[in-house]
A and B are shown apart, each in its own frame.
Chain A
Amino acid sequence: MSSIEVSLVASNHKKKSDAENSTLRPQRPPPPPPPSQSQPSAISIDQTTIYPPSETSSSSIDPPHEPTDNTNKNQTYLLHEFQRLFDNFDYELVREEILNRQMIECNFTTVLWRIFLHCLPRNSSQWDDMLDANRNHYEKLVQQYKIDPYKMSENNHNTDAENLNHPLSRDENSAWSQYFADEELKATITTDVRRTCPDISFFRNPRMVDLQLRILFTHSRHHQKTTPYRQGMHEILGIVVYAIHLEALKINECEESNELMKKIYDSQYLEHDAYAIFEKIIDHLRQFYSLTTSNSVVQRKKHGGINGAKQIPFQRLNDTHIPPNDTVTRMNSIFERLRHYDRFLHCKLEELNIEPTVYG
């Protein structure tokens, strides 16, 4: 996991001033840390470093108009960079460069994400097929989770199905009850997606809201058991979508590009490609979203009772019970390690009753 996470952090997290520090730590779990109010958009992309802001009208997601004399030079450079990087992709070398922060200016960051997240193989000659397969896969998923209960009751003419599939049916297997659950999920997601990066007009575009809603909904349904939708996922997806979009703007503007570049940055597959990346990222973050304990050792301890009390060192008398989960357990164990590394800080935190879940 480490190489993938580290490369993601290195190539993505321009927002953190101290990137070296963040590469040493696991990625932040979304829930606990109290973010500072002085940084209103903690996850907003630093546009100016990537690109000039495309703050045109809210409905416009067209490429920004750049002066033409610069673009020619830029264009050959892009094709050259693409070929240099991906014609004979040197995984170890690029990984080293990412870790040494030499890839910050890379114009193909989202392609690197795809390689390091295993959405695309290292050998670019296989990308064509892989892209088709990934995109088809997403297309199928969207269809699979699209429910039209009216159609279902039309198609089923036997009485059992008719009894089952009506809007007032309380049966869990009724297409209608799934339909209502889906609508509720979509409403939750929409509330969040509408509030993604309020300062960037790209996210106010209704098309982009719908696109992100479809991705998050499909993902949530497809991974219902492991990683159903939670607030915060929308911000991760937002970064992915926006990053691909910004790169695509540049690539699609340049006249000198090869077929593969065009195919990768085909804007009609922005949604499909964002899904593929998002799915892999969430898979890596799964443990942070888990509310239950998957660790069997911890569970045994909990029920065995020998070290039961030790398991949650911050629990006090009359405490409202916070269910232990993997993230909390992990943070507590980091806090225990702090005792050895910085005893003073450990004592101070303990004395002031500041729990790891607060600064997590």
Chain B
Amino acid sequence: MSRPGHFKMVLLGESAVGKSSLALRFAKGQYQDHAESTIGAAFLTHTLQIDADTTLKVELWDTAGQERYHSLAPMYYRGAQAALVVYDITNADSLSQAKKWVKELRTANGIDMIIGLAGNKADLATTVNKRKVDAREVAEYADDNQLIFMETSAKRGDNVSEIFMNVARQVAMKQPTNTLNKPQGAFPPTKPKPKGNSSCCSSSDSKS
């Protein structure tokens, strides 16, 4: 019998590295050439089959990357069991920003948080040689900081489900599935029921 559980995951990284594109590829298998910038944050869910016994619903918070919204990030990563920090392999600055996020997450949520590091836009390294970040160096950094590292391409779909799956597996290993159902931090364990309320809360609507 399948035991359902869920966990909260947050996407962080500099503006325009492809956080929303990764989320869209992961949750819907789609890609848009021109993506709008994310204002505030977006919320998506996607259910993963970890093994024959376990399904895990990923509750994904996709945040705005711009530095000026940095101060809002804590309310999205608070209580999250996992994070995917994203940088753009054609932009060295975005890696420094990613490292800052990792540091901040470790300080706030501790070593128990599962953190994935995605070097996105990997397609640009092969089609047009725009690579500015060496994958081996990042792999070393990832090892030192216990991060699940992969280069991804939201455009082609390379490694996208893989990195989410690896993160989810580790979350599942770290906590027995039955505790995953318990409330963790800021996110509700069940869907809030809007019936009977003149609710202005849009978070329940955005669940898919």
Contact = CB atoms under 8 A, between A and B. Distances in A.
Interface of A: 30-38, 40-42, 188, 191-192, 194-198, 204, 230-232, 234-235, 291, 319-323, 342, 344-345, 348-349, 352-355, 357-360
Interface in B82-103: none
Contacts of A352: 183, 188-190, 192
Contacts of B71: 291, 322-323
Contact of B15 (A41, A191, A345, A354): A191
B141 to A, nearest CB: 23
A34 B61 contact: yes
A239 to B, nearest CB: 13
B39 A30 contact: yes
B39 A231 contact: yes
Contacts of A357: 72, 75
Given A38-B208, A291-B71, A355-B186, A345 B36 contact: no
Given A36-B206, A198-B32, A353-B187, 4 more contacts: A231-B64, A231-B68, A353-B79, A355-B186
5 contacts: A35-B206, A37-B44, A231-B66, A322-B72, A345-B199
A31 B201 contact: no
A231 B20 CA distance: 15
B35 A195 contact: yes
B37 interface: yes
- 5 A-B pairs with least C-beta separation: A198-B34, A36-B206, A320-B74, A352-B188, A231-B66
Contacts of B32: 198
B29 interface: no
A321 B74 contact: yes
Nearest to A32: B40
Nearest to A352: B188
Given A34-B206, A36-B205, A188 B15 contact: yes
Contacts of A38: 206, 208
Interface centre among A41, A194, A204, A352 (most CB of B within 10 A): A352
A135 B61 CA distance: 43
Contacts of A344: 196-197
A358 B74 CA distance: 11
A359 B74 contact: no
A196 B39 CA distance: 12
A268 B111 CA distance: 58
A33 B202 contact: yes
A138 to B, nearest CB: 25
Contacts of B203: 34, 354, 358-359
Given A198-B35, A353-B186, A34 B42 contact: yes
Given A34-B61, A231-B69, A191 B16 contact: yes
A322 B75 contact: yes
Contacts of B208: 37-38
A291 B69 CA distance: 9
Contact of A342 (B188, B197, B206): B197
Contacts of A198: 32-36
Contacts of A36: 42-43, 202, 205-206
Given A230-B68, A359-B203, A37 B43 contact: yes
Given A34-B42, A188-B66, A354-B203, A320 B78 contact: yes
Contacts of A353: 79, 183, 185-188
Contacts of B79: 353
